[in-house]
Structure formats: structure tokens, C-alpha cells
Chains A and B, each alone.
Chain A
Amino acid sequence: MHKEFLMGNAAIARGAIAAGLNVIAGYPGTPSTEVLETSAKCNKDGSLYVEWSVNEKAALELAAGAAYCGARTMVTMKQVGLNVASDPLMSLAYIGVKGGMVVLVADDPGPISSQTEQDTRTFAAYSKLPCFDPSSVQEAYDMIGEAFELSQRLETPVLFRPTTRVCHGYASIDVRDESEYAHNTPEGFRRDPSRWVIFPRLSYNAHIRIEDRNVKLSDEFSDYSRNLIVPETDKTCRKGVVSHGISYTYVTEALAGKQAPRVMKVTTPFPFPEKLALKFLDGLDEVLCIEELDPVIERELTYICGKYHLPVKIRGKLTNDVKNAGENTCGSVAANIASFIGLELPAAEKPELAPELPVRPPVLCAGCPHRASFFAVKEAMKGQKAVFCGDIGCYTLGNAMPLDMVDTCLCMGAGVNITQGIWHTEPDTKCFAFVGDSTFFASAITGAVNAVYNQADMTLVILDNSTTAMTGHQPHPGTGHTMMGEVVEKIDITAVLHGVGVKTVETVDPLDLNASVETVKRVAAEKGVKAIIFRSPCAVIIKPEAPAVIDPEKCTNCKRCIKALGCPGIVLRDGRAAIESSLCTGCGLCSQVCRFGAISVKGGK
């Protein structure tokens, strides 16, 4: 055992490896990404199989197959990724596994970088799968091994759901030395159709078994040391506080050194530790549930009080005592508890109102090729009735002014289908769907097939920057690199599109503005489904060219470069457009936008 300063996600990966992990697969998504990345970094001898799968569904199915062979497997994703993987997971809950399989789903209260505030604890109850909810980096490290043990013993996949503050929090924690690692040798696939082939009869029997197991598991979890009751220090207090995850640490901090009420921590929200809850509720009048996302604990306690006729008032989100959206903070939790137990908070001195702060919204980087792609389509479609459907990735930022080129964004791969719905309803509209290269492989190919088959009229625009930029540059099927360090044949987007029946597929460098605008005009004028691939590497991963130069003699100070592009590489200095040389990558887009030839770049297009 030794100390290391680790990020929560790294701790989860290291804990899983220490528990004998054999296979890990996933799809990138904040805040889960670093679990798989750390696993790959630790895989120096190649004994662990690591892959970024094409999407979460593929990752989960692969991990299931490996677990059928007795491998210890983990699959990683963010909460919305679980929606993609839910089809196999719901069935796998009935089939079960052999080696031990942990489905790591990172939830994102806030949401800080997600489309939804869904709660994987709720999904656990829906899928009837055991769920672990770590509250700290150390607990995440220690508990992932326990999750594998439980999974292997009960032959079921289990859910492990940290939230952003655990995933991305850092702490100096106790970690095992390599000599203390467990090792698992898979026995291989043993043919047994009565076990591995799902049929209604099997599902019926499995359902009976699962319900029975979960009743027993609830009892077992009541004795699990990570579900715990902290006795009250204020013996007269007939109130209690329940929490979970990172919020539990806020509760601990809020009550440190105070006359405190009884506190319960729920680490396994499903199956709910009912007997422990009964012990906790005994003698209390009122309980405050401090949770993030869904009121899972609050509903369980309300149910238990009804079931056992307990005269305890359960409060929380459902009673408007705790806010029902967004993440908790140390401050919000301290305030919730103070008003619940009637504590006076130290009167906050009204600080002087701060001056108006400059806003720093996320924007497309200087030199980002997506800016050029959006601008080219905007120019080409000027004056025409058009709809631009966006998707999930950096390019969602194409919505910002002055580009203003994202009319819809729903979920991964949705744009290509949404645009068809719009066209079928409003056929006089030029319909565009923008999708990144990684998202294309993850979930837009089926949309392209759908469009071709059902005779839609649309332009599919692939923003191919040859990486998964948003989540930190992971490889994907089009990059020719795997997480095992292999260089493999790139899957060619043009060939894929031709293969599914898209006849016109043109590729153009978005940083060549004239060629891009011409291409868009020509391709969009065709009938049916056609595609444009804007191919230019992500500006963050290439060596920048020399910054652009503005010739003050030619510059008329019209500011078109600023107003048209909104590039962080062009700033106002003393009222005039100027190049911010620390950011400019010399992409040359502005030099093509300038009507007076005042901006030049090396090699200038």
C-alpha cells in the first residue's frame, strides 16, 4: 500500500486493474473518459484488452461477451451513453455474466457538460441491477473491487455510478502495490444455450430469480459497511439527514464540530438497504434527504414509512426543501441542513457588489476548421430557405454568434434523422445535417441509410477533423489507431457513404473558402441524399503555422473579419482589428474573408 494523488476516474481504473480487470471497453463522454484512458496508460504489458468501441452499445455487448468467458470486464460511458447501451443492458440483466462485469456510468449533475440530468440510480431500479454510488476518490478506488466481487458472486452485471465531482476530483489516497493485485484468468466460453440464449421462458425464470435475489441483496446491503449510520451527537434531536455520493461529503463538512443530528449514507441505492433504513428511522420525527438528480432515497424512505406505518416526515426534493435540479454545493447543503435543524448560519456579511465581469463563453478555438465549414455553408445558402441540424461535439458551438449555424441539437446522431423529418414536412427547405467524424461512426450511419431508403432530400455534412476532439482527442474507426497501440486500416467515410447508396460524396478542405462555397452550392442543388466531407485536422493537435499579419495600409477597419467569423485569434486593439498571435494558428480563413486583401498568411490560400 502506498499514497498517490489521483483523479477519481484514474482511481477507478487503477482499482479495477488491481481487482484483476481483463477487458475494458467504452465510448468517450465527459465525465467518464479518463477511466478508459488511464486503463490504457497502465497497460504497459498489453495484458489488458482496452478499446474505444464505436459506441456504448457495442462496448457493452463486447464486455458482455468477454464476461461470458469468465473475464473481468468493465464498460465505461457517461449517463446519456447508457441510453444507447440500454438495449443490451436490459436483456443482460436477465442473462447475467460469469467473470464479473462492472458497467461504469458517470452522472453529471448540473448538468456541466451533458444534455440531461438523468440519474443512473433510477436506471438501476428499472433494470433491477445492483448499483454502487461512491462518495470520494478513495471510496471509488476501494469499492470498484467490491463491485467486481459482487458481480462475480451473483453472476450479474453491476452498475457503478460516480458523479462529476468524484470523477474529476483529486485526492491523495491509499493504493495497492502491484504485488497486491488480484489476477483473473478467464476459463473461456462454455457452450450452454440454456444459459446464454435469451427466450421468453428463460426471461420468466430469470425474472423470478432476480426479484428473489434483490430482496436478499437488500438485506446484505443493510450490513454493507459503506451504507452507514452516523449516530447523532445531539441526543435531543429527533431529526435525521440522509445523503449519498459527493453530497454526503458536503453533509459531513456542514456538520463537522457541531451538535449534529443522526446521519445515514446510502452507497447502494439499489437494492435499497431497507433494514438499515428502518434502524435509522427509529425514533426520528423528520428526515431530510440531500440528493443530486432524482429523489431516489427520498422515495424509498417515503415508501418504507408507508409500508411500516412509521410516523416520520420525509423531506427533500419532493417537498421543495431541496432544489430539484442542478448540482449541490457545500454551501447549498449547509443552508439546507441549517434551515432543517433550525441552526443559525453565521450572518453572511453582504459583500460589495462586484463590478460587471467579462463573460468567457466556450467558443470554437482559433483556427478551428469547423468555423470555416459553417461559414462556407452559410455563405452558399445565403438567401435560400434552409435548416441546419447540428449534433453532439465541439461543433455544437457553431450555434454561437456570429456563425449562428445550429438550428437543432438533440442527442448523438439525431441531426441526420431530424433533418429528414423537417424535409418531409417542409419539402421546400434545403435541409442540412452536420455531424462530426466520431459521431458519424457512433450513430449517424443508420441515419444516412434511412435517408437513402426513404428518399429524403438532404445534405449530410461531415465535419471530419480526424479525432474525437470534444472529449480530448480519442481515436475512432476513421483515425487508424486503436487503444492497444495498433496502426490499422482507416475506415473511409466516403466508401461507407457510397456503400449505403449516397451517390454524391464530395470532399473539400474547409480552409479553402471559395472551393468550399462552390462545393456546397453544387452539391446542395442536387436532388436526394448527398454528402460533403469537410476534411481538416483539429487545430489543437496540429502544429500551428505562423500567425496571420494585417497590413494597416490595406485594412479599412471594416471589421468584417471579426463580425463574420468570431475567431478568438482576431481581437480589437485600439479600436482596430488585430491578430492575437498567441492564439492565431495561421489557418488563413480570415485572409479569404477580408475584401481588401489586408490579411495575409504564410503560404496564403
Chain B
Amino acid sequence: MQTNIMICGVGGQGIVLTSKLIAATAVSHNVPVMSAETIGMAQKGGSVFSFLRLGDGIASPMFPEGSADILIGFEPSEAVRMFPYLKKGGKAIVNTHPIMPVTAALTGSDYDGADMLDYIRRNTDLPVFVNGDKAISDIGSPKVLNMVMLGAAVATGLLPFTLGEIEETMKSTVKPQFVELNSKALRYAG
């Protein structure tokens, strides 16, 4: 069985770390894993994506459009940007909180994410919308958005891992004093 996951958002949101955490969980459960992501010019504030593939018989770290089982969008417009990769009937998990492009002030953009969410609603069945802004304020740390999104993705049952298994990996990768906070975030939307 193969699972293709597209994780996308804006640089600085913890996209790459999320991908790494799933990958590390896969390695510890002997599930073959490959990934590819943007590196380089996309600094803070740029579009960032990570292709993540789990399972046997995978040749390439990237997959074609229309073949992601899950799209985890950390930002509405970034979810739409990578939306073509989601397969028909695939699941979209999207943070509803928009991030203005850093150039918006210059161009006078009035982007607020609403059109993006409508688009996702119209073009996919039962998307999972996560109010990431409320989540991080409820939990009390802006740094755990990625764990909230990951928790919501795991809760769909489409990843080949349980929340507990992801949590085990998380415990071995974050500092002890942050374990509780991250556990709380993982379970927030689950």
C-alpha cells in the first residue's frame, strides 16, 4: 500500500519538520519512505511544499498531479496552489488562517483567504478546516501549529500511523520540556 502526502504552506510554519516527523515514524515502523521539498530561495515567507511518500514500490520522491491521498495545507492559498496534486476523492486538511504575502503591502493586495476556502469546499468532499489561529492561542504557543495540523491529518485515519505512534516519535525529537505542549497540540484537532 502507498500513501502520498502533500504538505504545503509558507516558510516558517514548520512544514519540513512535519514531514520529517512522519518520515521518522515510518522509519521506526519499517515503512519505506521518500520525500522532496523546496529548499533554497524560499526563505521565510515563501511558498514551501513537501512531497511525502510512504509504502512499498516507490521509485521517485515526487508524485504526479492528482495522486495525493492527503493534502495538509497550512495556509489557504498555499493549499489551493498545491491542490492539483490532490487525487479525486483525496482528503484536504486546511488551516483557515491566511498569511498575507510579504509583498502585499506594496501591491495593495486584499487577500483574506476566503475565496481559497470556498474553492476547496467546492472542489473536495468534506474538507477538514482547522482554525489554526484559535488553536495556537488556545494552546498558548505559535510554534505548535504544525502539530495541530498533523494531529488533524492523523485523525482522518488516512495516515498509516496512530496518534500514539506519531507521539512516540515526537517525544524522541523535541526537548523534554516541550513534550506536553506538543502532545496537547497533536490531540487538539483530533
A residues engaging B (CB < 8 A)? 3-5, 30-31, 112-113, 136-137, 165, 168-172, 246, 249-250, 252-253, 256, 329-331, 334, 348-349, 351-352, 354-355, 357-363, 365-366, 401-402, 562-563, 566, 568, 570-572, 577, 582-583
Beta-carbon contact of A5 and B57 below 8 Å: no
Beta-carbon contact of B123 and A351 below 8 Å: yes
How big is the B interface, by class?
35 or more
Beta-carbon contact of B60 and A253 below 8 Å: yes
Complex alpha-carbon distance, A348 and B42, angstroms: 30
Beta-carbon contact of B23 and A172 below 8 Å: yes
Partner among B33, B63, B102 whose Cβ is within 8 Å of the Cβ of A363: B102
Which residues of chain A are within 8 angstroms of B83 by Cβ–Cβ distance? Answer: 351, 354
Complex alpha-carbon distance, A286 and B119, angstroms: 44
Q: How does the 8 Å CB contact mask read for B66-102 relative to A, with 1 for contact and 0 for none?
A: 1000000000010011011000100000000000111
Known pairs A331-B64, A568-B44; list 4 more (Cβ under 8 Å).
Answer: A169-B62, A253-B64, A334-B64, A363-B102
Given A5-B23, A357-B77, answer yes or no on A562-B100 (Cβ-Cβ < 8 Å): no
Beta-carbon contact of A572 and B108 below 8 Å: yes
- Nearest CB in chain B: distance from A587 CB, A: 15
Shortest Cβ distance from A559 into B: residue:
B105
Partner among A253, A354, A357, A568 whose Cβ is within 8 Å of the Cβ of B102: A568
- Between A and B, 15 residue pairs with Cβ closer than 8 Å are A165-B61, A168-B39, A169-B61, A170-B33, A170-B36, A172-B34, A246-B60, A354-B119, A355-B115, A360-B10, A360-B103, A362-B41, A363-B45, A366-B102, A568-B102
Complex alpha-carbon distance, A31 and B32, angstroms: 24
B172 within 8 A of A: no
Partner among A352, A365, A366 whose Cβ is within 8 Å of the Cβ of B119: A352
Beta-carbon contact of B101 and A360 below 8 Å: yes
Partner among A246, A348, A566 whose Cβ is within 8 Å of the Cβ of B103: A566
Complex alpha-carbon distance, A572 and B111, angstroms: 11
Of B30, B32, B37, B44, chain A has the most CB atoms within 10 Å of the CB of B44
Partner among A169, A256, A577 whose Cβ is within 8 Å of the Cβ of B105: A577
Which residues of chain B are within 8 angstroms of A165 by Cβ–Cβ distance? Answer: 36, 61-62
Which residues of chain B are within 8 angstroms of A172 by Cβ–Cβ distance? Answer: 23, 26-27, 32-34
Which residues of chain B are within 8 angstroms of A568 by Cβ–Cβ distance? Answer: 44-45, 102-103
Complex alpha-carbon distance, A4 and B64, angstroms: 25
Beta-carbon contact of A365 and B44 below 8 Å: yes
Beta-carbon contact of A358 and B42 below 8 Å: no
Given A357-B81, A358-B111, answer yes or no on A572-B105 (Cβ-Cβ < 8 Å): yes
Complex alpha-carbon distance, A313 and B36, angstroms: 35
Beta-carbon contact of A358 and B60 below 8 Å: no
- Nearest CB in chain A: distance from B84 CB, A: 7
Beta-carbon contact of A113 and B27 below 8 Å: no
Which residues of chain A are within 8 angstroms of B103 by Cβ–Cβ distance? Answer: 359-361, 363, 566, 568
Which residues of chain B are within 8 angstroms of A351 by Cβ–Cβ distance? Answer: 83-84, 123
Complex alpha-carbon distance, A252 and B61, angstroms: 12
Which residues of chain A are within 8 angstroms of B39 by Cβ–Cβ distance? Answer: 30-31, 168
Given A170-B35, A354-B80, A355-B80, answer yes or no on A31-B40 (Cβ-Cβ < 8 Å): yes
Shortest Cβ distance from A252 into B: residue:
B59
Partner among B66, B101, B122 whose Cβ is within 8 Å of the Cβ of A358: B101
Partner among A169, A250, A330, A362 whose Cβ is within 8 Å of the Cβ of B35: A169
Which residues of chain B are within 8 angstroms of A357 by Cβ–Cβ distance? Answer: 77, 80-81
Complex alpha-carbon distance, A366 and B123, angstroms: 36
Beta-carbon contact of A358 and B104 below 8 Å: yes
Complex alpha-carbon distance, A402 and B116, angstroms: 28
Beta-carbon contact of A562 and B61 below 8 Å: no
Beta-carbon contact of A352 and B104 below 8 Å: no
Given A357-B80, A583-B44, answer yes or no on A3-B105 (Cβ-Cβ < 8 Å): no
- Nearest CB in chain A: distance from B169 CB, A: 11
B163 within 8 A of A: no
- Nearest CB in chain B: distance from A316 CB, A: 20
Beta-carbon contact of B47 and A360 below 8 Å: yes
Beta-carbon contact of A4 and B27 below 8 Å: yes
Complex alpha-carbon distance, A401 and B105, angstroms: 12
Complex alpha-carbon distance, A119 and B82, angstroms: 29
Which residues of chain B are within 8 angstroms of A30 by Cβ–Cβ distance? Answer: 39-40
